[in-house]
Every structure is written in C-alpha cells, then in structure tokens.
C-alpha cells in the first residue's frame, strides 16, 4: 500500500514574499503557484516590483561596501555557514516536502537535494579556512603576494528543477568568499529559497547580505544582469536565456558564470552487462522525469546488442511507477507545469513527423491519481538519425532516443555530434577503451560505468554551448573571487629613474 506524507509543521498556504535588506516585503504582483501533482492551487506568492529589485541590489551593494559580512574572518564566515547547514538539517523534512509540493519531484529525490544543500554549505565552510594565495620569489627588495578577494555584489538566477540545491550551489561559495547576493529563484518554484531566507533571518545574517527577489526573468532577472551595481552574474537555465543574460552583463563587463543545457550521451559497448546498462539508462533519463540538465537523453548502443537493449529498456520503462511525489511508491513524478508538458509533447510530435519510431510512451496520464496533474509517460524513440531535432535539441523531459553504432569512432562521433557538451558516459568492461573513449568525449562531466553522480568537491559545468565556467569544488569558489597582486617594497629609497 502506498502512503502520502503528512507534515504537521507544513504551512504552504501562508505569506510568501521577497526578502530584501533583512525584511520580508509585499510586492505589487501576485502569482498563484500550482501543485504539479494535482494541477490545483498550492499557494500565492507576492512578487517584487522593479523598484524592489533595485532596492535589493542597492542593499547588497551597501552591505558589501560598508557592511560587516565581507570584513569577517574566514573562520567567522565558516562558523556561520555551519550554523546555516545545521538549521537546514533540522528542518530537512519540511524543506523536502515543500520542494516536492512545489517542483513535483518524488520525495526521495527532494530529501537527497536538501541533504546535498547542507553538505554544500559545509564543504565551503571547510574550504575557506584552508591556506590560499601565493607568495612569489621576485627580485629584491620586493616581496609579492597573490591573494583572492570577494568580487562584490553577486546576482544569482536559479532554475525550477533543483530549487534548493541550486540555491546552495550559488549562495554557499559566494558567501564563503565574502560576497553579498541577490538571488532570484524561478517564478515556478521559489518556496524553498524563501524558507532558506527564513533561516538566514533567524540566524541574524546582516541585512542586505542575502536578498531573495521573486518574479519572472524580465521582471526580476534581467535587472540583475543589467545593473551596474552588480559585479557578478551566475545563471543556470536554458541556452536562449543564458545568451540574454550574457549580453545584458556587457554593460559593466561583470563576471559571468553560465550553466546551460545538455543533450548528454551514454555509450554502451557490447561487452558490458546488459541488465546493468539498462538499469543505468533508466536512471539517466527518467530521474526527475528527465528534467535534469545533465540527463542522459541519447543512448548510443553497439549494434550487436541494440535490439536486446531496446527491448529490455522499453519493458522496464513501462514498469516505472509514475505518480504524486508525496506518494511513497512513486518513482517518477509529474512535469513542473502544463506549459512545460506541452513543450515536451510538441517535441514528441516533432519526432514522429521526422520519421522516428515512437517505441514506447509519449502519452499524458489521466484519471485517478493523475487527475489534472502534469504527468507524461516515460518515452522512448528508436530509428533516429543524427540530424533529427529530437536528437539535437534539449527536450528536458522523460524522452529518450536510442541510436546504434558499430565502431568506437562512430560512437564518439555520434556522442560529440551536438552543440552541447555538459555530460556523457561510457559503459564497457575494457578499462583501456573506457578511459580512451571518455577522454574523447567533449563534455565537462563524465562517467565510466555510471551516471548522475556529482559531488560538491568537483567542478560542474560544460563544454561548447553548455555554458561558461564551473560551479562546485575549488573552481566554484574561484568563480566568486578576484585575484589581486600585492607588491611590497622593502627598501623604499630613491630609484633615480629620471635625472634630478
């Protein structure tokens, strides 16, 4: 029997407002959020006006230029981040439940995301107390140091698929480095970001250090990218919006980090165990209903095992338990909105028009527990060719395409044959071939005989049109710092460069 999670502490029907300069503020616009599992109203949020977004930016500017946060020691910032992580862990079930109600993902995934958010904070809390910088041996009488300093005011725009995890990936390194922030969550999934604001307020973070503004991209995101008071913009989302962010950031040549889309391949050689490969394939594409930037959406399978792989892949995909995220038996939840589901359905229609075979799925799920929710069955296309749009373009849903190859070179050409380069995987028992092939993948995150495992200690980001820069690891901290050279003259006597 399945069960539905109930949380006595959970109050979704409450005031949800932007957090600006240490205060929660009503806005002029109201948005009704829908529960993706039921299509029913979840709550209303009060979105920031353009004037309030400007106020948030100015608050962050004042907090950086004159406030205490950038002037704390690394140890003091570290201790605060640990307290922040403690509070997240204390409210973990509440945060996970709100994440599921707002984003639609199964509760088991939301629980992992909340845990990862706390872990990310602890990672950067530890990292900033470690030795950094350099001392350079230059000709006497000088000594030279190279130090890293906070960039300043950081505008941060996060997507709807991993709200709390993406908030942590942005806030943790920025705060660790001593910056101040204006965070804009997705207009679809702002709730856990606002719960983080509650925690920061409870911990008495200095006003203006972190501001969270609600609203859509044109209303709240674009002003962050355009503002001359913002020193750095970090964006995670679509390539189309990422280009707009980058263009807008040119006004004051602010630093830019972009984590954009993917069309990630999974190459399966014929020497690898078929059942294990299929198991990872299901995880690669149907985790969070394929709404993952690094999702394995292209399966490139050796021709000797192609038919077996497809048959078993289809068979197991039909057994995936689709349902509301709070149902304990659910393995795959709904898509985030009806608009997004329609977008994915349009790609399924495009695939059929292009001549691909819809081997399984491709249907909305209706009635019973699916009533009015934004559900879509796990979908698999076969008989595809590289120029098809469903092979080339990011669909961001539970839609897989299966290609076949005969030689290693052909597999790599197929794998690298899109404009994206975020992630990729190789499955084989031949470790020499595995390492040779994974080195040849033009992608920033790769796996041998695995998929989706990512760690706060390691850089995340992609090649080609999958973005600029990296998040997480030491690279993520570096992205929120400026590098300064300090030269000290130990013998400041006249140098007589010009005649007297």
CB 414 within 8 A of CB 300: yes
Distance of CA 491 to the CA centre of its chain: 51
293 is an active site residue: yes
Residue from 55, 109, 187, 259 carrying the catalytic annotation: 259
Whether residue 260 contacts residue 466, with contact meaning beta carbons closer than 8 Å, is answered with yes
Active-site entry in 293, 403, 465, 471: 293
The vertex-166 CA angle with 165 and 168, nearest 5°, equals 65
Cα dihedral 159→281→97→91 (10° resolution): -80
- Which 3-state string (H, E, C) describes the chain? CCCECCCCCCCCCCCEEEEECCEEECCCEEEEEECCCCCCEEEEEEECCHHHHHHHHHHHHHHHHHCCHHHCCHHHHHHHHHHHHHHHHHCHHHHHHHHHHHHCCCHHHHHHHHHHHHHHHHHHHHHCCCCCCEEECCCCCEEEEEEEEECCEEEEECCCCCHHHHHHHHHHHHHHHCCEEEEECCCCCCHHHHHHHHHHHHCCCCCCCEEECCCCHHHHHHHHHHCCCCCEEEEECCHHHHHHHHHHHHHHCCEEEEECCCCEEEEECCCCCHHHHHHHHHHHHHHHHHCCCCCEEEEEEECCCHHHHHHHHHHHHCCCCECCCCECCCCECCCCCHHHHHHHHHHHHHHHHCCCEEEECCCECCCHHHCCCCCECCEEEECCCCCCHHHHCCCCCCEEEEEEECCHHHHHHHHCCCCEECEEEEECCCHHHHHHHHHHCCCCEEEECCCCCCCCCCCECCEECCEECCECHHHHHHCCEEEEEEEEECCCCCCCCCCC
Instruction: Give the integer Cα–Cα distance in Å for 92 and 98.
Output: 10
Asked about 472 being catalytic, the answer comes back as no
Q: Quick one: tokens of 2?
A: 């399945």
Q: Which residues are catalytic?
A: 259, 293
């Amino acid at each position: 029997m399945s069960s539905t999670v109930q949380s006595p502490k959970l109050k979704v029907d409450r005031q949800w407002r932007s957090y600006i300069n240490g205060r929660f503020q009503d806005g002029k616009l109201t948005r009704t959020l829908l529960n993706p599992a039921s299509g029913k109203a979840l709550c209303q949020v009060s979105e920031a006006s353009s004037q309030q977004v400007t106020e948030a930016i100015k608050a962050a500017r004042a907090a950086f230029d004159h406030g205490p946060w950038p002037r704390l020691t690394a140890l003091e910032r570290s201790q605060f981040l640990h307290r922040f992580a403690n509070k997240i862990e204390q409210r973990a079930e509440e945060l996970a439940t709100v994440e599921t109600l707002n984003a639609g993902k199964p509760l088991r995934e939301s629980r992992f995301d909340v845990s990862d958010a706390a872990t990310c904070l602890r990672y950067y809390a530890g990292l900033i107390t470690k030795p950094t910088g350099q001392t350079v041996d230059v000709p006497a009488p000088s000594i030279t140091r190279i130090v890293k300093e906070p960039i300043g005011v950081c505008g941060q725009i996060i997507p709807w698929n991993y709200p709390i995890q993406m908030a942590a990936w942005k806030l943790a390194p920025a705060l660790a480095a001593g910056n101040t922030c204006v965070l804009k969550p997705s207009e679809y999934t702002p709730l856990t970001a606002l719960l983080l604001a509650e925690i920061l307020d409870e911990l008495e973070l200095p006003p203006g250090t972190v501001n969270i503004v609600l609203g859509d991209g044109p209303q709240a995101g674009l002003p962050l990218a355009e503002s001359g008071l913002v020193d750095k913009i970090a964006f995670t989302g679509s390539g189309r919006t990422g280009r707009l962010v980058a263009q807008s950031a040119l006004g004051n040549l602010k630093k830019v980090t972009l984590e954009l889309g993917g069309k990630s391949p999974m190459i399966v050689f014929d020497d690898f165990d078929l059942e294990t490969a299929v198991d990872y394939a299901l995880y690669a594409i149907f985790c969070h209903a394929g709404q993952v930037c690094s999702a394995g959406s292209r399966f490139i399978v050796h021709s000797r095992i192609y038919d077996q792989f497809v048959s078993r892949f289809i068979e197991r995909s039909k057994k995936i338990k689709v349902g509301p995220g709070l149902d304990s038996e659910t393995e795959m939840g709904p898509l985030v909105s009806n608009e997004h589901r329609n977008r994915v359905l349009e790609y399924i229609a495009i695939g059929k028009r292009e001549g691909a075979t819809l081997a399984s799925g491709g249907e909305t799920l209706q009635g019973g527990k699916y009533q009015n929710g934004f559900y879509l069955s796990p979908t698999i296309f076969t008989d595809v060719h590289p120029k098809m749009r469903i092979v080339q373009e990011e669909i961001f849903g539970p839609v897989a395409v299966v290609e076949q190859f005969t030689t290693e070179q052909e597999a790599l050409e197929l794998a690298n044959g899109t404009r994206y380069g975020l992630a990729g995987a190789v499955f084989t028992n031949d470790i020499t071939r595995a390492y040779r092939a994974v080195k040849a993948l033009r992608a920033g995150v790769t796996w041998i005989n695995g998929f989706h495992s990512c760690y706060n200690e390691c850089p995340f980001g992609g090649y080609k049109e999958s973005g600029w820069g990296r998040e997480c690891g030491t690279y993520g901290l570096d992205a929120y710092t400026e590098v300064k050279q300090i030269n000290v003259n130990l013998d400041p006597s006249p140098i007589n460069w010009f005649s007297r």
